[in-house]
């Protein structure tokens, strides 16, 4: 929270500076915009200003004064993100602190809202014979619209004003209201988004549709359905009016745009409502409208609907405002004592802040004194309290009003609703429950949606779900749920889904490139199910137009979607289509996408491409000689992906492409060459030895030439290819050593490579690959000196490489001189480590030391000296590292017979136990543990009897790392050296340990419980048991559960007879928790002691008898589970009499309905089956199998079934003899046979 | 059964049981149950070789013949199913 606040403050400061800069009409503060590390940081603010200007088509009269209206401008940029985002069409573009999905999307991802949803398509398969309704969109339409728009498609001010004039006749009065056609040319394309040229295609292409005719592309989805509008026909897709060319838009509709919330409420004051929409923050004709106040008041919020982004923003700002509010005099009075303080006058020299920027942020004074208007009284005003919803609906978040607002006025016009609207409302309600409801509500709603999917129909369902999924403020969980809804609905609707395939795809495809893994998986699942439901033909027909879309984003997602279709329906089904696409003569985009589909198929399906490898390669091979460079590149990349997926098989399929690839590596340069090299690099490992060797030798000179390429992409590919080449069998070590290594090290082992994470990883990987071929000595010899390099990241990279190489190949090849250099370098790196928090250096040290083994001996004193010295430094990190190193090299030191040194270090560590930093303390305890483990209890210095009392107070430490290491150490001592410590000390520790049972980490709780066992063994169970039994009275459940486990462990380690009497005595305490605890301990006890239980079964039977007859459910449940463990333990040991007795008590519980109880009872009966034999249980079952009451029969059959599954064969001998019944003879004469 | 019961462990148990041939349910009639018993018995006889050998000696048949007979009997061990009176 704190750093969020800090960020907000910083942002505000920036804004102030910004405004200041604007006022003094200095263009842009250079060091503010240029000097900051991330130059894009203020992108949002800039666009907001641009957008303000853009918005001015609406009110041209203001234009002259517009560009520098400092106040308005600062306000505009003050309310920041919302404006920036809405104006560029990207909801919440620069909003860093939000936690919605959009917040973490990259620039590329954000392009998806730009892609509007498409109207329903005509389903040629379902209605083949009928002519498509002119209102529905057919394949031909889709194709036509996808043509690259004419050159004039980039709308400029000039032709927009033309449009406006043309529409002027139709839409009177409201100049700023958009006409239908210009509303379809949504505001997005006005955004300065030249990077995405394809966006323009969503406009109405000027000229084609003409005038006020809404083009086919006019997109209902662009508009935000709101409560006010839900009622009209717009929400339902059925009426063709919306698509009709004679449709004259009413002013109300014209106003709707994506980012503008058309307000049904308060529309009498258009300016006011407009002001709450994002654009409204921009200076309008009356810039000092109340809505422009910097601090939005709650009243304002309640005034009209806002976009969800604004809600989040407001919520955030209000929070911060509240925190940063200056203290009033009254508050100060209450905080400070009355006496002893005096209120001073401000000194004469005090100057209140008068900087223009600050002043601008203060409440603006209107330019003229506004006349006071009596505010309209609104009793129904909801301040901040969410309205209680009718009909048990979950709470509505402000963002939801836009979609689910209609649910609020339920009941008011219930009777006027048409059946269609009823249905819609029903869907809406269910969706809302799925989105916001409790798990039960959600489950029920989801089930209902699924069951009634057919009844609701595809149209109404998807018309509600899809816009919701496009909502910018959706959270991960909500998206997941909606995706689930779609998935199930698709399954139910089956081929009814066809007209909506494209709509669904538009929504789902962006998820395919989401950063979140689960989002990607879900998207794949939906598309796969969709293709199964709609069929291949529909999928192809739907996605075909997108394949040669001008927008790269659309093509990319389409290619991915196609690969999912291929994995869902099988590659062979898609092959003919792919072939056609890849050979498309019409546009290179189609070929590019086709080939990309192949690449994606390879990536997605892995080795499953093998059966079709030949055909896939055949389909794309001609792309290598395509006239378009992009196509050549993607072809090579696809081949690389195919080879990677197929490895190590399938070389014969690549025969045809080897030559062109090979030639390509010789003739191309730059990116294309990189792609070709990658393809060659991935194909080489598939080859036979001699071919691989031949090709490697051929490709190496090119690689070496490209070593010096400045291109990052090329670098990565070269590294990858080198790795692939050197790891093939046909390449000899000598060749690599002399041919590659010198250049390789010269170009790649440079400091810059360590700075980029991906380069770093790839370089380490490649070097390790080379080392596997040429051996440790060569590689280590070349880089060992770099351990003393001055750049820390570089040292770390060297260290990581050495670690990996040594771990793979051992240190036997390292000669004496190298060994010296190595240890020296590592020690240097270790000491010099400053900024680095990773464990790379430590791991390296450990690996190298362990690999060298006894050869480390000469250096041990030096290393210990360093550890000692570092333990005394003032840097906590250094102390922690020293302790960590100690625990890592303890084994090697033992190997070098340096126990004396270790004991010495033990002393020093012991003295450091006063450490205040918990992380360091944890490491110190870890080091002590390592020493104790290796030196042993008797030889340990400081002696255990001194060490342990020092640990007792540390057990109180609540830090997880400290707790874990401490309990491990204490447990170790209790296990091995309990006799060195007086019993009283152990008791003290016992009390501390009880607290540890609360730990969150399971490892700690387990170690604690085991420690109880060790301690009990050392000092006898009585005292420990008394402590534990007392602990059963605590309230906290987890604590009690752990205690019961501990009791069982104590009983196990000290034999049950020492514990059982006390335990059974404690059962007489008339307290529920204690009794249940005892029963649970018994259950664990019998689980642990197994067949030892036969000696105790008669002793505890009376207790269990009582528990099984208790009124309390939990008693019976826990007793049943104790019976289960008991029965399983004593099976075959001759305790049947007691068990039958217990079974008689367990059996009546089969009619329990509580899930846990019935579960325990069933398990107890299963246990009895094992111990008593199935025939006994069968006889119990037979009473009720044909009982007249159905409820009884159900339960008995359930019991019978689990018996039957458990012991089917054994039952054969025990089945009852049935009488002859009419024609049916049930006797089994075979069993009566006798020889 | 309550609504909440539908999703808990016990429903899974019943689902699991239903996957095995030979398990029963509340609507099973006498004939169906007996049928299962008969088939289980024959399967058991065939599955245990010593039992099969014992029967072979008792009936003075070869073991293979005995196995074949049992297998044949598994088809309709209790005769034709009785007429359902309710439907």
Those residues whose C-beta lies under 8 Å from the C-beta of residue A347, and which sit 6 or more positions away, are none
Q: Which of B17, B45, B47 sits opposite A1205 (nearest CB)?
A: B17
Q: Which of A1204, A1209, A1218 sits opposite B34 (nearest CB)?
A: A1218
Condensed to tens digits (0 to 9), the pLDDT of residues A411-438 reads: 556 667 788 888 888 898 899 889 888 8
Contacts of B54 in chain A (CB under 8 A): 1233, 1235
Condensed to tens digits (0 to 9), the pLDDT of residues A875-897 reads: 899 999 999 999 999 999 999 99
Q: Is A958 on the interface with B (CB under 8 A)?
A: no
* Predicted pLDDT at A196: 39
Q: Which of A582, A588, A583 lies closest to A562, judged by CA?
A: A582
Chain B: give the shortest CA distance to residue A1192, in Å.
Answer: 9
Q: Is A1151 on the interface with B (CB under 8 A)?
A: no
A671 vs A677: CA distance, rounded Å:
10
Q: Which of B8, B9, B17 sits opposite A1201 (nearest CB)?
A: B17
Chain B: give the shortest CA distance to residue A872, in Å.
Answer: 58
Chain A: give the shortest CA distance to residue B46, in Å.
Answer: 11
Chain-centre distance of CA A348, in angstroms? 58
Q: Which of A645, A631, A565 lies closest to A603, judged by CA?
A: A645
* Predicted pLDDT at A139: 61
Those residues whose C-beta lies under 8 Å from the C-beta of residue A3, and which sit 6 or more positions away, are none
Which parts of chain A register pLDDT below 50?
Answer: 19-100, 128-129, 149-304, 364, 366
* Predicted pLDDT at A363: 52
Contacts of A1157 in chain B (CB under 8 A): none
A692 vs A311: CA distance, rounded Å:
62
Burial of A1040-1054, coded b for 16+ CB within 10 Å and e otherwise, reads bebbbbbbbbbbbbb
Map out the domains of chain B as residue ranges: 28-77
Half-sphere exposure of A461 toward its Cβ, with a 13 Å CA cutoff?
28
Contacts of A1194 in chain B (CB under 8 A): 25-26
Cα-Cα end-to-end distance for chain A: 87
- A137 φ, ψ to 5°? -95, 125
Chain B: residues touching A (Cβ < 8 Å): 2-5, 7-10, 13-14, 17, 20, 22-26, 28, 30-31, 33-34, 37-38, 40-41, 44-45, 47, 54-55, 57-59, 78-82
* Predicted pLDDT at A109: 62
Q: What's the whole-model pTM score?
A: 0.60
* Predicted pLDDT at A479: 85
* Predicted pLDDT at A102: 52
Quick one: CA torsion of A434, A435, A437, A440, rounded to 10 degrees?
30
- A148 φ, ψ to 5°? -55, 130
Q: Alpha-carbon torsion A138, A141, A147, A153, what sign?
A: negative
* Predicted pLDDT at A18: 53
Q: Which residue of A has its CA nearest to B9?
A: A1155
- Site from B78, B80, B82, B83 to mutate, A interface, most A CB atoms within 10 angstroms: B78
The region, left, alpha or beta by phi > 0 then psi within -120 to 50, assigned to residue A115 is beta
Q: Is A1232 on the interface with B (CB under 8 A)?
A: no
Condensed to tens digits (0 to 9), the pLDDT of residues A1138-1171 reads: 999 999 999 999 999 888 899 999 999 999 999 9
Residue A737 DSSP label: I
Q: Which residue of B has its CA nearest to A1234?
A: B58
SS3 A150: coil
Yes or no: say if A399 and A427 are a contact pair by the CB < 8 Å rule: no
* Predicted pLDDT at A484: 87
The CB-based long-range contact list for A350-353 (8 Å cut-off, 24+ gap) reads: none
| C-alpha distance from residue A56 to each of A63, A157, A285, A461 (Å) | 7, 10, 10, 38
Cβ-defined contact of B24 to A1205 (cutoff 8 Å): no
Contacts of B8 in chain A (CB under 8 A): 1155
Burial of A1075-1093, coded b for 16+ CB within 10 Å and e otherwise, reads bbbbbbbbbbbbbbbeeeb
Cβ-defined contact of A1223 to B82 (cutoff 8 Å): yes
* Predicted pLDDT at A165: 41
Q: Is A1212 on the interface with B (CB under 8 A)?
A: yes
Condensed to tens digits (0 to 9), the pLDDT of residues A504-518 reads: 998 888 889 988 888
Placement of tokens 């959009």 in the chain: A102
Cβ-defined contact of A1218 to B5 (cutoff 8 Å): no
Q: Which residue of A has its CA nearest to B34?
A: A1226
Asked if pLDDT for residue B34 goes beyond 60, the answer is yes
Which stretches of A653-729 are DSSP H helices? 655-667, 670-683, 689-706, 712-727
Burial of A138-162, coded b for 16+ CB within 10 Å and e otherwise, reads beebbeebbeebeeebebeeeeeee
Half-sphere exposure of A566 toward its Cβ, with a 13 Å CA cutoff?
29
* Predicted pLDDT at A44: 41
Q: Is A300 on the interface with B (CB under 8 A)?
A: no
Chain B: give the shortest CA distance to residue A1225, in Å.
Answer: 5
The region, left, alpha or beta by phi > 0 then psi within -120 to 50, assigned to residue A138 is beta
Size of interface A-B (CB pairs under 8 A): 94
A856 vs A844: CA distance, rounded Å:
14
């Amino acid at each position: 929270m704190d750093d969020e606040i800090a960020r907000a403050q910083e942002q505000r400061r920036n804004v102030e500076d910004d405004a200041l800069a604007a006022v003094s009409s200095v263009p842009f503060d250079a060091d503010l915009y240029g000097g900051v590390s991330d130059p894009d940081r203020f992108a949002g603010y800039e666009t907001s200003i641009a957008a303000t200007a853009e918005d001015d088509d609406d009110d041209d009269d203001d234009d002259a004064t517009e560009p520098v209206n400092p106040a308005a401008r600062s306000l505009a940029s003050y309310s920041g993100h919302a404006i920036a985002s809405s104006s560029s069409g990207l909801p919440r573009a620069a909003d860093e602190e939000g936690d919605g999905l959009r917040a973490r999307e990259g620039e590329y991802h954000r392009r998806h809202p730009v892609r509007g949803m498409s109207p329903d398509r005509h389903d040629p398969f379902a209605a083949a014979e009928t002519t498509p309704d002119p209102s529905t969109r057919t394949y031909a339409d889709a194709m036509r619209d996808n043509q690259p728009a004419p050159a004039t498609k980039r709308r400029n001010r000039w032709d927009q004003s033309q449009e406006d004039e043309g529409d002027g006749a139709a839409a009177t009065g409201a100049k700023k209201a958009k006409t239908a056609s210009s509303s379809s040319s949504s505001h997005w394309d006005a955004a300065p988004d030249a990077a995405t040229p394809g966006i323009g295609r969503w406009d109405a292409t000027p000229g084609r549709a003409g005038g006020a005719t809404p083009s086919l592309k006019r997109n209902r989805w662009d508009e935000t359905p709101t409560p006010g509008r839900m009622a009209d026909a717009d929400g339902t897709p059925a009426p063709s009016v919306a698509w009709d060319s004679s449709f004259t838009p009413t002013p109300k509709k014209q106003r709707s745009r994506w980012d503008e919330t058309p307000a049904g409420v308060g529309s009498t004051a258009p300016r006011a409502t407009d002001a709450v929409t994002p654009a409204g923050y921009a200076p309008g004709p009356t810039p000092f409208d109340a809505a422009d106040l910097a601090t939005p008041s709650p009243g304002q919020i309640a005034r009209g609907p806002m976009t969800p982004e604004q809600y989040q923003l407001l919520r955030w700002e209000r929070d911060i405002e509240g925190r940063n509010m200056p203290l009033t005099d009254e508050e100060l009075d209450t905080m400070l004592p009355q006496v002893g303080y005096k209120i001073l006058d401000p000194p004469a020299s005090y100057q209140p802040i008068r900087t223009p920027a600050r002043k601008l942020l203060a409440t603006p004074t209107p330019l003229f004194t506004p006349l006071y208007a009596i505010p309209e009284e609104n009793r129904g005003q909801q301040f901040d309290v969410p309205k209680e919803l009718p009909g048990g609906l979950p709470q509505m978040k402000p963002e939801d009003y836009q979609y689910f607002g209609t649910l609020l006025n339920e009941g008011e016009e219930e009777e006027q609703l048409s059946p269609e609207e009823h249905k819609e409302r029903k869907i809406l309600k269910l969706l809302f429950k799925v989105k916001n409801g409790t798990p039960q509500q959600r489950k029920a709603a989801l089930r209902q949606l699924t069951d009634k999917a057919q009844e609701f129909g595809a149209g109404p369902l998807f018309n509600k779900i899809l816009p919701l999924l496009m909502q910018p403020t959706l959270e991960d969980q909500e998206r997941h749920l909606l995706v689930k809804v779609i998935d199930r609905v698709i399954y139910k609707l089956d081929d009814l889904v066809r007209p909506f395939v494209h709509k669904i795809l538009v929504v789902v495809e962006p998820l395919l490139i989401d950063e979140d893994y689960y989002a990607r998986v879900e998207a794949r699942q939906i598309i796969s199910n969709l293709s199964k439901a709609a069929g291949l033909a529909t999928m192809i027909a739907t996605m075909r137009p997108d394949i040669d879309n001008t927008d790269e984003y659309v093509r990319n997602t389409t290619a991915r979607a196609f690969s999912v279709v291929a994995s869902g329906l099988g590659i062979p089904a898609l092959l003919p289509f792919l072939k056609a696409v890849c050979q498309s003569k019409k546009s290179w985009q189609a070929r590019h996408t086709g080939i990309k589909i192949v690449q994606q198929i390879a990536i997605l399906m892995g080795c499953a491409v093998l059966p079709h490898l030949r055909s896939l390669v055949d389909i794309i091979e001609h792309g290598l000689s395509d006239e378009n460079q992009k196509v050549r590149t993607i072809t090579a990349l696809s081949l690389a992906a195919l080879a990677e997926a197929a490895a190590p098989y399938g070389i014969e399929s690549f025969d045809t492409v080897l030559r062109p690839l090979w030639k390509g590596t010789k003739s191309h340069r730059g990116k294309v060459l990189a792609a070709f090299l990658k393809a060659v690099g991935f194909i080489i490992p598939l080859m036979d030895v001699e071919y691989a060797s031949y090709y490697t030798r051929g490709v190496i000179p090119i690689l070496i030439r490209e070593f010096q390429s400045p291109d990052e992409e090329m670098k990565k590919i070269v590294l990858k290819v080198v790795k692939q080449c050197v790891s093939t069998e046909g390449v000899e070590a000598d060749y690599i050593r002399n041919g590659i290594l010198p250049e390789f090290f010269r170009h790649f082992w440079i400091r810059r490579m360590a700075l980029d994470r991906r380069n770093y990883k790839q370089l380490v990987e490649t070097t390790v690959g080379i080392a596997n071929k040429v051996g440790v000595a060569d590689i280590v010899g070349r880089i060992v000196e770099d351990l003393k390099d001055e750049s820390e990241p570089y040292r770390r990279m060297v260290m990581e490489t050495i670690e990996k190489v040594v771990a793979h190949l051992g240190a036997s090849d390292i000669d004496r001189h190298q060994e010296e250099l190595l240890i020296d370098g590592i020690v240097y790196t270790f000491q010099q480590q400053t900024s680095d928090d990773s464990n790379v250096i430590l791991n390296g040290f450990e690996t190298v030391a362990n690999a060298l083994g006894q050869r480390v001996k000469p250096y041990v004193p030096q290393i210990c000296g360093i550890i000692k010295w570092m333990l005394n430094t003032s840097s906590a990190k250094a102390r922690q590292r020293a302790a960590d190193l100690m625990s890592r090299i303890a084994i090697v030191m033992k190997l070098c017979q340096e126990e004396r040194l270790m004991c010495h270090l033990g002393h020093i560590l012991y003295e450091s136990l006063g450490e205040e930093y918990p992380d360091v303390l944890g490491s110190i305890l870890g080091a002590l543990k390592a020493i104790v483990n290796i030196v042993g209890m008797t030889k340990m210095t400081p002696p255990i009897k001194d060490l342990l009392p020092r640990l007792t107070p540390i057990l109180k430490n609540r830090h997880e790392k400290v707790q874990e290491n401490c309990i491990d150490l204490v447990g170790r001592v209790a296990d091995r050296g309990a006799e060195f410590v007086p019993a009283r000390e152990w008791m003290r520790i016992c009390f501390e340990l009880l607290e540890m049972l609360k730990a969150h980490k399971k490892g700690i709780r387990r170690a604690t419980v085991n420690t109880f066992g060790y301690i009990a063994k050392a000092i006898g169970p009585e005292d420990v048991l008394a402590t534990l039994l007392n602990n059963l009275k605590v309230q906290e459940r987890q604590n009690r559960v752990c205690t019961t486990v501990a009791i069982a462990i104590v009983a196990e380690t000290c034999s049950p007879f020492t514990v059982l009497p006390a335990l059974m005595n404690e059962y007489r305490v008339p307290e529920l928790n204690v009794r249940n605890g005892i029963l649970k301990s018994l259950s664990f006890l019998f689980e642990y002691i197994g067949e030892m239980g036969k000696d105790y079964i008669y002793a505890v039977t009376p207790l269990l008898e009582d528990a099984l007859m208790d009124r309390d459910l939990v008693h019976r449940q826990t007793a049943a589970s104790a019976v289960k463990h008991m029965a399983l333990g004593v099976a075959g040991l001759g305790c049947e009499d007691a068990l039958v007795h217990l079974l008689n008590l367990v059996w009546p519980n089969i009619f329990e309905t509580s899930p846990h109880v019935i579960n325990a009872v069933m398990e107890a009966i299963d246990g009895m089956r094992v111990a008593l034999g199935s025939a006994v249980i069968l006889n119990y079952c037979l009473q009720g199998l044909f009982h007249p009451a159905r409820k009884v029969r159900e339960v008995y059959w359930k019991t019978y079934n689990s018996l039957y599954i458990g012991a089917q064969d054994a039952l054969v001998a025990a089945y009852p003899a049935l009488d002859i019944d009419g024609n049916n003879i049930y006797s089994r004469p075979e069993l009566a046979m006798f020889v | 059964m309550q609504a909440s019961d539908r999703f808990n462990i016990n429903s899974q148990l019943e689902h699991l049981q239903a996957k095995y041939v030979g398990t029963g349910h509340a609507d099973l009639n006498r004939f169906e149950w007996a049928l299962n018993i008969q088939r289980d018995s024959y399967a058991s006889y065939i599955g245990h070789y010593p039992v099969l050998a014992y029967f072979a000696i008792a009936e003075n048949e070869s073991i293979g013949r005995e196995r074949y007979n049992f297998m044949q009997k598994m088809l309709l061990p209790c005769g034709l199913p009785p007429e359902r009176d309710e439907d």
